[in-house]
Structure 1
């Protein structure tokens, strides 16, 4: 792209992409029985162009969450963060002194899931490189997953159990510490050592999740008889017959909950925890998805259970790290700030490819978590780099509406 302004290029491509993803330029309304609907009003999305007087190198050797100055890198435009009658996308391009740039995005999760978001970002990258049409055409068809005429719940949904916090185990953000941990082939192999022969070939995501759930449970020190929940975000596109059409970008995921007593997670073999993870993932079927859709209607969009819960999501297969907006592939592509345990593809400062996992815990629990994880891996696994504060002066243009 030479000396072109990345903000201008991405802004122009965004306008083209929204022709195909026009609902994103609308606004959410609430209809009868609190049903959410999109008014395709063409009001646009928010776009911010910013400049920062720093280089990429000043963010540290390891580019990973938590990032300094995240509020400046994705400015929360006043009045823009609501669910209803607010922009559905906010995109900020921040140019750096070194010639690089940071592309940060916030989107309304009621419009799409991570799979749909990745599909839209792929289209955006294609448009920046001169494409006139997307390689995958978007499919709206939200009627594919509507509540049945007579809604009824046919599956057990522990993720929506109503649980009282009797032991004060719902963490507040006041004393939370956010750290990222890198897991390469060596660390994954170390976890597999704890598994029986018939489980050693299980998926990396499942093995890693079992190990993290155990370490996290030990770290937060619950009562031994407490029920602990692991909620796994599972892509359900392939669970339907016939399969969901290619290009569908609506929410199509479940997050089934594995439940076990704290003492069993901490004391039983890791294979026990792994089998809980595998069983929970297998619960997501077409009937499960239709049951949960009916549950939303019957119970009025309940919140998921937070007491004793740990939520994880595998983003490694989304392909975000491979996207090229005209200046080469990204050095980091993933969440900036989120309390869920997101797994993203990552290449560390040694050039080693692996998985980066974000962990949120109270400071004292984080210390125990690091110690327990280190004990499991029998080596120094803390690949986290503490970032020094970076002076950042951003010059914001007025938020622009892309139509």
Structure 2
């Protein structure tokens, strides 16, 4: 029923939301977040969705009960998640570890997994029913920091949705916590990776002294109006397998073709195609924000220990005039992305923390900006609560907070043909989406081969 997924309608019956507290005693303390955690650009909730098939070996086991019990046990180790955020001096956020717990919803839906289509990918039908916004739970301060919903399907499978207050953890931190929940659900006594709070590692210096330009936090007046309207938005996802990535890479100059990572190639491609599609004035400054994980790097970055689950990434931004992006080759966009990614090291992270304190924790600029985040190594597709790996595991939707159309995630994905690759959700105004598909087609067309012959599946799904 892949063809019916676009118009899928189903009913979800939810039990009353409950609070799940840690399964054992936990400290009551006030823990300051880092100066990376509590910036304005992270003061919103992010949502994750996981689809699981029926597993005969788990017959008689209720996924809601299994997940609820494992969450309670995991919260003993990750007890700050069971607390509530408070704002202290200088708009500083701290979590009061109260042990109150996280929100949990048990639900049933009159739909089967296969009704969602052969190749699960964002956008998902009925998402608002699968991650229910409990009234009053979406505030930053004084509300539960996590919300779980386990929705049992009529086929015996289930859907797990998780909503997280982003100031508490990044994608890797959330994946680490959920991996602990999954291990405990499968019978482990303790998580294999123990959590590290350590937020003082990313605190500002006294006095703060930023050492980089940090154009991602420029104050940019939106003099020509919002470039992406909030109405008439079209959501589509695009699949890039090995053939598609190779085709895009073939448009780069030889040296860059060998040195650029897949993230850099695809991000530059999306930035260029999106700019052409939106048709801004030639002199308008366009911004490409790249999420760069600071874990496991050189210098001070190596001080971020295994088990750290706070936000440990930066938003470096490439900036270019729209006319240049549209007129010049793909190599121009990819080179700019590669350069700003390479700036991020331990000193850069320290500089961001300093800037946050110095300037009152500003939001990264979203004016004429686009953001890309690589989730191909986050591990959401590996989370096994006893029913095996998910059919799909990753972001429930694109966008940053309440701002649609300014962000895309690179999500690991296996298409209906069994090909491994990356799926990228995109949100654009209707006419711009048509132009985006046209521009993407040009970059998927090697010089002597017609793209429709090489990649009919992708072009067909995108049109």
Q: Identify the TM-score tier after normalising by the shorter chain.
A: over 0.9
**What is the CA-CA distance between 1:385 and the residue it aligns to?**
7.8
**What is the CA-CA distance between 1:362 and the residue it aligns to?**
1.1
Q: Indicate the residue corresponding to 2:145 in structure 1.
A: 88
Q: Indicate the residue corresponding to 2:254 in structure 1.
A: 197
Q: Indicate the residue corresponding to 2:403 in structure 1.
A: none
The answer to whether 1:69 aligns with 2:146 is no
Correspondent of 2:459 among 379, 382, 397 = 382
**What is the CA-CA distance between 1:133 and the residue it aligns to?**
0.6
Correspondent of 1:276 among 332, 336, 342 = 336
**What is the CA-CA distance between 1:189 and the residue it aligns to?**
0.8
Q: Does the residue aligned with 1:333 lie in a helix, a strand or coil?
A: strand
TM-score under structure 1 length normalisation: 0.93
Q: What is the correspondence of 1:143-222 to structure 2 with a 5 Å cutoff?
A: 143-201=200-258, 202-222=260-280
CA distance in 1, matches of 2:459, 2:107: 33
Q: Count the aligned residue pairs.
A: 386
Q: Indicate the residue corresponding to 1:123 in structure 2.
A: 180
**What is the CA-CA distance between 1:83 and the residue it aligns to?**
0.5
The answer to whether the 8 A contact 1:181-1:383 is kept is no
The answer to whether the 8 A contact 1:226-1:262 is kept is yes
Provide closer, same or farther for how the CA distance between residues 244 and 3 of structure 1 changes in structure 2, counting only shifts above 3 A: same
Correspondent of 2:359 among 299, 304, 309 = 299
* Unmatched segments (≥5 aa) in structure 1: 387-403
Q: Indicate the residue corresponding to 2:376 in structure 1.
A: 316
Q: What is the correspondence of 1:367-378 to structure 2 with a 5 Å cutoff?
A: 367-378=434-445
The alignment yields a C-alpha RMSD, in angstroms, of: 1.3
Q: Indicate the residue corresponding to 1:3 in structure 2.
A: 60
CA distance in 2, matches of 1:208, 1:307: 22
Correspondent of 1:233 among 287, 291, 306 = 291
CA distance in 2, matches of 1:383, 1:288: 43
Q: Indicate the residue corresponding to 2:198 in structure 1.
A: 141
The answer to whether 1:347 aligns with 2:414 is yes
Q: Indicate the residue corresponding to 1:401 in structure 2.
A: none
The answer to whether the 8 A contact 1:169-1:222 is kept is no
**What is the CA-CA distance between 1:208 and the residue it aligns to?**
0.9
TM-score under structure 2 length normalisation: 0.81
CA distance in 2, matches of 1:95, 1:261: 49
Question: RCO higher in 1 or 2 (8 Å CA, sep ≥ 6)?
Answer: 1
The answer to whether 1:263 aligns with 2:323 is yes
- 1:229-279 deviation digits (Å, cap 9, x = unpaired): 000000011234343111011111001000011111111121121110100
Q: Does the residue aligned with 2:427 lie in a helix, a strand or coil?
A: strand
**What is the CA-CA distance between 1:313 and the residue it aligns to?**
0.3
Q: Does the residue aligned with 2:309 lie in a helix, a strand or coil?
A: coil
**What is the CA-CA distance between 1:167 and the residue it aligns to?**
1.9
CA distance in 1, matches of 2:422, 2:382: 15
- 1:332-354 deviation digits (Å, cap 9, x = unpaired): 11111222110010001111100
CA distance in 2, matches of 1:124, 1:117: 11
**What is the CA-CA distance between 1:218 and the residue it aligns to?**
0.3
The answer to whether the 8 A contact 1:182-1:383 is kept is no
CA distance in 1, matches of 2:378, 2:460: 23
The answer to whether the 8 A contact 2:238-2:462 is kept is no
